[in-house]
A and B are shown apart, each in its own frame.
Chain A
C-alpha cells in the first residue's frame, strides 16, 4: 500500500490522533513534525514540481513524493515566535511547502489556496447562502445603536469576525449601552434554538453527528452534551454541502448546523481544517477511514497518447474564408447596437427577436424564414458539418428546426468587443419562446448551447462559466433575496478560451457570460456561430 505523508505539529491533538489511528490500521506514514523541521531541520523545495524536493527533520530526510497522498494540518507559528530568525524560518517553510502542495499531482487534504472566507465570518455566511444554505441574519458594525437594535429584535449571539477560535455566547441589549465605536467592530448573529449537527464531508461522503446540549456552545459545555453519531441529514442538504465543499477547493470540511425542532437546518460555518478527533472517536474511526481511503491511490494513471482535437470542426483558414463571406453579406447584418459599437447578427436570434425589445412588424419567425434561406445558401457546408458533429457527439439524430431560426452568427467589431466583464451573466432559456410538441415530456434542463468561433480578436476570446445551474438558481431564490449580480463573486467561475474552428458545447442551464478580451485593436472582430438544442423524443432540434 502507498504511504501517506502527514504534515503538522506534534502539539496538535488532531494531528497526533490521525497518526496514531492510521498507524494502528497498518497504514505506512511519513510523519513530518514542522516544529522539529524549524528547530533542527532543513529543506529544499523546488518549483515547478520535479520530484527533487525534500525536508529534513533531525537525522531523517523525507523525500517528498509529488504523487503521494498528503494529510496536512499546517499551522504557521511565525507570529508567536520570540526569535525573529525562527519566525522567518516558519514563514519561509510554510510559503514553500504550501506552494509545492498546491501544485503536486498527488491528493492533498486540504490543498492550500482553498477558499479562505471562513476567516471573515460575515463574508463566509453570505457565501454559504449563494450555495443554497440557510444562514441566520447577522450584523457587523461598530455602531452601538444599530447593534442594540439588532439585539432588541431577536436573541443574538456574538462571534469573532476573523478566524480566531473563540466561544460564542448570547449577547444582551444593555451590553451596548456604554459601547464606544472604537471597541468595534462586532459581529452578531440571530441565535437559532435547536440541536447542533456536525457533518464531516470527505470527498463525496459524509459522517454526521447530532449533539444535544442545554447551553449555547456545546464545545464549551462538553460535559453537558449528548452525542449521537451516524446521524442522517436530508439528502438534498448532503448534496448541497458536498458540492459546496468541492467548490470551496476542499476535500475535507467540518460543517456546523443548528437543527430546529421544526426540522430546519441552519448553517453556521464550514471549517476548512476540522479538528475532527472527538467526533471520530464516537463514530469508531469512520472519518479517518474516509480520509485514508481518499488519500490512498486506487488506480495507476495510464499515460494517454495525444489525439487530434475532435472538437476542431474547421481550420483557421476555413474560418477566415467564412468570415470573408460574412463580411460580403454585411448588408444583411441585423445591427443590434449603436452605429459606433457594431454588434450585429447574421440570422434571427430568439433571445433578441422574441424578447423584451422584439419588433412586432418584423417578427422572429418572419426574420427566420428570410435568413434561413440566406444562411443555407452561403453556409450550407458549415451547417452539414455542425449537424454531423452534433450527431456524433450527442449520439442521437439532429435536425434543424425549419420553423425557427437556423444557428446564426454573432458579430462584434472592434470597439463593441467587451474588454470588461460587463456582458450579462445568464442562462439560455430561449426555448421558452418557441412552441414544442408535448412540452411536458421534454427535459428542458438538458438543453444544449453551442458556439463555433469563426474569427477572434488578436488577444483571444472565450466564455466564462459559473458553477450554478438554472434549477439550483430557482431553488435558492425561493427562500432568500440574494443579489444575483454578485453571483460571479461568490460562485466558482471557469474561463474557457475559444479557438477558431473548435466547437464549444455546454448546458444552456449553466450560468455563463461572454468573457472579456484583454485588449482590442481596430482591425479586430469577434464572430461566432451560435445555436441551441432541445431533445424531443430522442431527436435534438437545433435553432437559434
Chain B
C-alpha cells in the first residue's frame, strides 16, 4: 500500500485521489477508522517509537452520530480513533493535516471568532450563541447578521424563523458579500475564480491562516465586499469536499503527489 485514506468509500474527493494516483501506479486504499486502526502496530520503548507500517495517510473521517448507539460500539470506535491519532502523530511518513498532541483535527473551532483568535488574528466578526432565537440585534456598520441552527445547520438572515429547534449561532458578516474559495496545500494555494483580487493577497493569507491552525491542507472561504476592496474569513474547512476543490483539481492533484511522496512535510 502506498497511501491510506481513512474515510468513507463514497467520499468523492477521496475517490478522486484514488483514481489520480492509481493512474500513476500507486496503490491507494480507503479504509474506515476501525479497519485502518487494526493495520498498525505502535511500539514505544525507552522513547524510541516505531510505527508499522509507516505509510502516507490522509485522514478524512466523518463525525460519529451525536447520540451514541451503544457503549461497546462507541468504545471500540474511540479506541480505534485514539490509535490512529497516536500513529499519525508519531509517523515519519508524509501526511495531510497531521494531528498534534494538542488535538487530532487542527485548531479550527466551531466558533469563527475563536478560529481567528487561535490564528493570531483580530476577529473581524461577532458571534452570539443562544438557546432560543433572538429578535433584536446590535447594529454593525456594513455588516449583516446571519443565524445558523446548530442542530440542523440551516442558515438564514437573522430574524427569519428557522424550522429546527436550535440552539443557534448568530454571526455578523459583510453585507451582500461575494465569495472566493482558496484551496491550500502546504506552501501552495489556488483561488477558484479569475476575479481580479490579487490586491487582497488571498493565497498568502490563506496559507498563513492554515499554518497557524496546524493544518497543511484545507479550504478558506473568503467573503468579499461588493466593491472588491476587502475580504473577511467566512469559513475554514480542513475536510474540503470535492466540490470545493474541483476547480483547481489538476494543480492540487499534482501537488498532492509532491507532498505525499517526499519526506519533509
Contact = CB atoms under 8 A, between A and B. Distances in A.
Interface of A: 41-48, 78-82, 84-85, 87-89, 91-93, 95-96, 99, 102-103, 113, 115-117, 119-127, 129, 135, 137-143, 146, 160-164, 181-182, 184-185, 187, 249, 419-420, 422, 458-459, 479-483, 485-486, 489-490, 495, 516, 518-519
A57 to B, nearest CB: 11
A66 to B, nearest CB: 14
B167 A88 contact: yes
Contact of B79 (A80, A89, A161, A519): A161
Nearest to B46: A480
A79 B207 contact: no
A481 B78 contact: no
B111 A95 contact: yes
A382 to B, nearest CB: 30
Interface of B: 37-49, 66-68, 74-75, 78-83, 85-86, 89-90, 92, 98, 100-104, 107, 109-111, 113-114, 117-118, 120, 123, 126-132, 134, 150-151, 165-169, 186-187, 189, 201, 203-205, 207-208, 211-212, 264-265
Contacts of B204: 458-459, 518-519
Interface residue SS majority, chain A: mixed
A79 B67 contact: yes
Given A42-B131, A48-B113, A481 B37 contact: no
A115 B98 CA distance: 15
A46 B264 contact: no
B37 A483 contact: no
A146 B41 contact: yes
B151 A84 contact: yes
Given A518-B204, A519-B203, A139 B167 contact: no
A192 B83 CA distance: 23
Contacts of A129: 44, 47
Contacts of A103: 113-114, 117
Given A420-B264, A516-B187, A115 B102 contact: yes
A113 to B, nearest CB: 8
A99 B110 contact: yes
Contact of A47 (B45, B48, B82, B127): B127
Nearest to B187: A419
Given A91-B66, A185-B37, A121 B150 contact: no
A118 to B, nearest CB: 10
Nearest to A181: B38
Point out which of B39, B41, B44 has the most chain A C-beta atoms below 10 A from its C-beta: B44
Contact of A518 (B47, B101, B130, B208): B208
Nearest to B207: A518
B100 A489 contact: yes
B131 A93 contact: yes
